[in-house]
Homo-oligomer: A and B are copies of this chain.
Amino acid sequence: MIKSSKPLPAASLHIVLALLEGELHGYALMRRVGELSDGAVKMGPGTLYGTLNRLVDDGLIIETTDRAAHTDTERRRYYELTPTGRAVALSELARLQMLVHRVAGHLAGGAPA
């Protein structure tokens, strides 16, 4: 099996998970990340924009140029997952699912792994 790279840092993780639902711009991403955890996770601009650039550099997301082009007055920058980014997001999701399932399962029934 292909050795998957290390888990994404928290901010990157939340961003790619949010982007599984479709392209978003930075500010919307900030809100969405908060919504997905009922406000438990609050990502400020300092974290957001730096992380966004890192994700672009790492090839996990790209800025969707079409959208930016198609309105003149648009300040928003939309981002979407690359195929790689999507794979990473799904892999991270699976990791979380497994973690949650195992811990919760252990609590419920004391069922062995």
Contact = CB atoms under 8 A, between A and B. Distances in A.
Contacts of A104: 93, 97
A41 B37 CA distance: 22
B93 A41 contact: no
Interface string A37-59: 11011100000000000000000
Given A17-B99, A21-B106, A21-B107, 5 more contacts: A10-B10, A20-B107, A36-B98, A37-B95, A97-B100
A103 B38 contact: no
B102 A36 contact: yes
When all copies of this chain in the complex are counted, the total is: 2
Secondary structure at chain A's binding surface: helix, strand, loop or mixed? helix
A96 B99 contact: yes
A96 B20 CA distance: 16
Contacts of A40: 4, 6-7, 95
A21 to B, nearest CB: 5
A104 B95 CA distance: 12
Given A7-B40, A95-B37, A100 B103 contact: no
